[in-house]
Structure 1
């Protein structure tokens, strides 16, 4: 097949850029894994599946180039055009294997045209160098920035709702999080101890087990079904103000029972990511009891955290890094104690 092409030079050598149907890239691509003498990592089935599902998003986009290495015997370049002449799999993928495989497994492959950059007759050393540079020099984007960018997206989604909740809680003077969240992963007041990213990551599972799929379903105007999660029904019914009020009540009660621990993040972990995450993980159990009592008020949550405080006193625990460090095991241990307090109320 023949495509328009442009040539550009960089210190390592010549590169060529074109645009191809994803179906054609899939036909010619060759993936050589490290175990077989190549440069690529073993396929991540999880990543491929995520991309396949993402292709169902009506706004799906793959604007960054696939990078290939092609031998000169399989390619012919003339003025402003390139023609691929080989048969079978001959274009070795240096970057983008999961994108191509994920798109190929979807039923939307014909909808995608992809930017492709390729090199010709690269040595194995050059291929390895290009691969290593691509995968070592990219700067990881802050999760807080990613979540904050949902503010400019008009379509409703669990991510956008969680971002808006974080922003509202950080700016409302009735909120225990007033000036306490690090928006965009930085800033905040003197006692800011929880990032927007950590807040959103912990909260999303209370809305949906698969928030990405839920966001796609909303875009595709699919029928939405409530999940057995505390905030799922409120989100589907567009009652985000109820979620906001519950979080206000829940964490104001935390502050009521543990004023020193909440207001002193330098010495205590309660208002840090570990404390917030543990409370949110335990919340489905707390919510269940609250529904039984038909009470999700600040008073109900105060009663609950009083029970939790009794457990801490009996176990001689303090909400400090001495007993609860930043490890996953510590978060699980603190979550278990919070769940035990629920059992005392049932």
Structure 2
């Protein structure tokens, strides 16, 4: 049943399968639509008919493989479902699967991430096994794990949303690996989903999952905190108004975080905790953004806040870090700004560098930067060899 304007109250019963608990109940289509999303889980906006507004926006602007909601919605299918709801008095007896998450909830990163009160309450009822689920509209995102087309079809049948009950299976603060497993099992034979969405769902084995989860928490922190040079500049699910996608950021960061079978020394961030990694990234990128404020802010005319420019800077990060480490110099913003002094008169405009993309451009820009501040390729090789020697002694204990 619907609650007041700020809350939704749903009667649910508990189901346990293989030590996993979920809740099944019914909810008005209008209520679910007001909190549901497949475009992003971390949205801070709360608005009436949020999901339908997202769908309308995409229908009006057109879909693309890069920007689609979860997967690209099929217009013909939506029209048929809307007709089925309106004209055929159609029913949807099968359950939609919803992952109900408190906004920015991450149990492993509580000290880093923005905090909200719990987005829902689960209270006992007089009937054994039954509960009342009280949902605070402003403090949750209801991620549509399965049923996106059924819910989106109401964009063409909005006169039905207030009277139409939907059967819903709720997972509460569903652990991300299980959310990914459910999503992948249901949609495994469908077209591939957006890579950034998969990173957010963490559909990986235990070791890789832990590494990506660490990177995800770090990237999210950098995106939501105003002291970060990447504040609101990261497209967390590959969509939105940021300059760099979450997947592109994680692709670069995980190279230094993951466990390697060979060249272990290049995973120089692996032994650091998340606070240390964030501080290191802040020192590095703040020094660059403060030295080049116009270049950093003006994404239209300069290369730094583009995926290729960011990739080049992340490649440079390793060599700058080991240079400081070998010379026992603190990796601090002031020291980094002094170190980057040779770049102060460099031109990083697109007029000079063009709008090239891809690994070739990243390597070209990286080498230009590295040669200016560290030396030629031979010097970079010697620097890497020296750091590898010291790290191997550390690994073997000799």
TM-score (norm 2): 0.42
Bigger-Rg structure (1/2)? 1
